[in-house]
Structure 1
């Protein structure tokens, strides 16, 4: 599955120097960046939790399966505290 995520400057700092096979971070002049690459379907849950931890510092563009998993996880969290 193709991953594309925009990271703010703080998001780039949070991601740090983590290296994953098949993922590449392109940092822009202003310090923000775009994380692109391939992820396995079995890793959707991991990446959902990973990017939720970024809060507003990451915007996932694709895959839609990751976005949907994040929405379900966040909805479950809201119910937990509702």
Structure 2
């Protein structure tokens, strides 16, 4: 992950740990998918994983599935 992606992930973890909602609204192409998958992986490692729902345009669904298989295969 790039430095700014790690910062974004740490920000999302901080929000999650403090019970605060947030929106990751980076520009297109900056790695929001990877950051989000990494957050789900963090939650899974901490045994805090619950079912998640990804809402995305149909045109990006295949990319989400591929990225989940790549970065969070289990």
TM tier relative to shorter chain: 0.3 to 0.5
Structure holding more helix per residue = 2
Structure holding more strand per residue = 1
The structure having more radius of gyration, on CA atoms, is 1
Query: Per chain length, whose mean CA-contact separation is higher, i.e. which structure has more relative contact order (CA < 8 Å, sep 6+)?
Result: 1
- TM-score (norm. length: structure 1): 0.33
